[in-house]
Amino acid sequence: MNKKIILFILATFMVASLFAKSLEREANELGVQAETKYNNKEYTEAGKIFEQAIAKFNEAVKADGIPMDDAKVDRWLELAFNAYFNGKDFENAIRVLNVRAERNPSDYKIVNYQSIIYSKYLKQPLKAIEVLTKYNAQKRSFKVEKKIAGLYVKADDFENALKWYEKAYELRQDSGVIKNIAALNLKLNRKVEAVNAYEDFLQTNPKESVLIKTYRNMGKLYEDMDDNRNAIKYYEKSNNLKYQKTVSLLLVGKYYDMKNYDKAKSHIEKILADDPGNDDAIYYRALINYDTGNKAAAKADFQKIGTNPKYASTAKKFIESIDSE
């Protein structure tokens, strides 16, 4: 071959090589293109192009020997996930998220997103439990074990829910967790275990703010067990530590049903001292006055609540009955 032709071919090849795009440059350009799509809210298309950028960059690492840039790949993966998620393409979102989890197995934020997508969007609570359990096996976490228990509750698997709440309680003696343990025991018809759960918690000497909630929860537990005496006992304990209008109203109703009018009136007075226009308290005061023969006072109270939709009809009947006497 003519020497000039050979030199021309070599020169042409060198010029072409000089101006050819590298794989890394192609990857970066795809990344820019994907971000443009993302900013224009073309989310599904953006997710696909981010993945193409990652594939091209990995090709550059393998073919051209450029160093791996984990930060760049992680960023593109995160953006690809965000794009698919915003585009409501949850199947692809979880697929990308699973890749991110493999690359960063100790990142709870990623694991938490996995559990949310599996449970909330893909309706696969057992897969959510699976990823959380795998994460928890590395290092036990109160937050994660509590979340696993909650997912089992949603799946109506109360035995496993109870097991995981008990595991979480081992890590932190939390009043909310003990409430769930007691409630699950009651749901499983284990009344003694339900009560014992609270009794054991009380032995930890919780601070007053926690004790207030715990006594109230114990009142509700005994109420669910149709044990009115103990329900009242613990509601009173809670209210003695801190006045709570809702608890006082609950006690008014219970004392009224028991015809213990003095106790009911003492709570009515507390409620009206705090909230003079409370129609619920006035209603019970009217009933007590009626039952004890103080019809004039009863009528006055029924008239006060006569415009309340909750009590209007009943109040009108009582007023008519009093007027007819």
Q: What is the pLDDT of residues 258-313, one digit of tens each?
A: 999 999 999 999 999 999 999 999 999 999 999 999 999 999 999 999 999 999 99
Contact 117, 94 (CB under 8 A): yes
Token code pair at residue 288: 């007590």
Contact 242, 212 (CB under 8 A): yes
At residue 204, the pLDDT reads: 87
Q: What is the mean pLDDT of residues 237-251?
A: 96
- Say yes or no to pLDDT of 16 above 70: no
At residue 4, the pLDDT reads: 54
At residue 13, the pLDDT reads: 42
- Say yes or no to pLDDT of 18 above 60: no
Domain ranges of the chain: 23-104
Give Cβ neighbours of residue 243 (< 8 Å, ≥ 6 apart): 270, 274
Contact 183, 220 (CB under 8 A): no
Spatial CA neighbour of 244 closest among 234, 257, 258, 255:
234
Cα distances (angstroms) measured from residue 33 to each of 46, 76, 84, 262, 281: 8, 12, 16, 77, 66
- Say yes or no to pLDDT of 131 above 70: yes
At residue 2, the pLDDT reads: 54
- Say yes or no to pLDDT of 15 above 90: no
At residue 253, the pLDDT reads: 96
Q: What is the pLDDT of residues 51-106, one digit of tens each?
A: 999 999 999 999 888 999 999 999 999 999 999 999 999 999 999 999 999 999 99
- Say yes or no to pLDDT of 149 above 80: yes
At residue 88, the pLDDT reads: 97
pTM of this prediction?
Answer: 0.71
Mean pLDDT, the chain, integer: 92
- Say yes or no to pLDDT of 185 above 90: yes
| Phi-psi label, residue 42: left if phi above 0, alpha if psi -120 to 50, beta otherwise | beta
- Say yes or no to pLDDT of 6 above 90: no
Give Cβ neighbours of residue 271 (< 8 Å, ≥ 6 apart): 245, 248, 249, 252, 278, 280, 281
Cα 107 to Cα 133: distance, rounded to the nearest angstrom: 14
Q: What is the mean pLDDT of residues 230-247?
A: 96
Cα 154 to Cα 119: distance, rounded to the nearest angstrom: 9
- Say yes or no to pLDDT of 17 above 70: no
At residue 11, the pLDDT reads: 45
